[in-house]
Amino acid sequence: MKKKTIAIVHFNTPELTEAAILSVRKNCEEDYQIIVFDNSDTRPFKRRMKGVKVVNNTKGEIIDFDAEIAKFPDLEVKLGERSCNGSVKHILSVQKLWELLPDGFILLESDVLIRKSIDFLWDENFAACGKVQYFKNPARREHDRLLPFLCYMNVPKLVENGARYYDPMRCWNLQPGRENPANWWDTGACLLDDIRKTKPALVCRCYPKLDDYYLHYRGGSWMGNDTENQKKWLDRYASVWK
């Protein structure tokens, strides 16, 4: 029987990532293999931990982000409150994880702490399991998405039915023009779109109250939060991970 896997995309937040891993070990019954996909440019994940493997992309060994983004010289520089790079790098990393972890995995954000067991998420009867973010306000351009904070992806089923996590025509501002509808697909939106279009071959199981199972620092790797604020947050919720 193959070991179940949790994957974390890491970028310059080693304390948060370590605490996330410890929270999994403390609160889950399943003995997950944990993969850290490290995109850091200043603070890589160096902690050696049992059952944790680091995939080193700190120098673009696996994904050359500069080369990928250079394919879109006319991209929109800024959309909403964020530049494109964070979302695009995250999306590309998850797509690569589909190749590296072809049996599927639970995606966990590096700045999330698990507060109670998430073992129920791994359900191979579904293409994916998690929480959907809906954008019902017509003033919002974003597409609904399967939130990447915590979700299970049945990679064999998704690949078999042609689903993608990354599509440059359904991504966060890779195309020219702020009003371009191709630009308003944040992390997890392309995947949810493919699942919906392929139903009933692919079905997503939605858990509206999934955030009861975790704590989220939010934007730990892209909002410019410093290590002092991160430490305060980790100390506040030490009972979850220590």
Determine contact, residues 27/116, Cβ cutoff 8 Å: yes
Kindly tell me if the per-residue pLDDT of 16 is higher than 90: yes
Which pLDDT does position 220 carry in this prediction? 53
DSSP string, 50-77: TTEEEEE-TTSSS--HHHHHHT-TT--S
Strands 78-79, 52-56: parallel, antiparallel or unpaired by DSSP?
Answer: unpaired
Q: What is the Cα–Cα distance from 118 to 103, expressed in whole angstroms?
A: 18
Residue from 98, 208, 219, 233 nearest 163 by CA: 98
Determine contact, residues 4/122, Cβ cutoff 8 Å: yes
Residues 6+ apart with CB under 8 A from 190: 91, 164, 165, 166, 167, 170, 171
Q: What angle do helix axes 14-27 and 227-236 make, rounded to 10 degrees?
A: 20
Which pLDDT does position 79 carry in this prediction? 53
Average pLDDT in the 158-168 region? 98
Mean pLDDT of the chain: 92
**Cα 193 to Cα 136, 143, 170, 198, 231, distances in angstroms:** 15, 9, 9, 9, 37
Residue 29: Cβ within 10 Å count: 7
Average pLDDT in the 29-46 region? 97
- Of 3.30.2170, 3.40.50, 3.90.550, 2.40.50, the CATH number of 5-227 is 3.90.550
Per the model's pLDDT, the better-predicted residue between 121 and 172 turns out to be: 121
Q: Give this prediction's pTM.
A: 0.93
**DSSP state at residue 220:** T
Lowest-pLDDT range of 11-20, 35-44, 76-85, 161-170: 76-85
Please state whether 188 falls in left (phi above 0), alpha (psi between -120 and 50) or beta: left
Which pLDDT does position 191 carry in this prediction? 98
Determine contact, residues 144/133, Cβ cutoff 8 Å: yes
- Note the pLDDT tens digit of each residue in 65-107: 999 988 988 876 655 444 447 889 999 999 999 999 999 999 9
Determine contact, residues 103/130, Cβ cutoff 8 Å: no
Q: Where are the domains of the chain?
A: 5-227
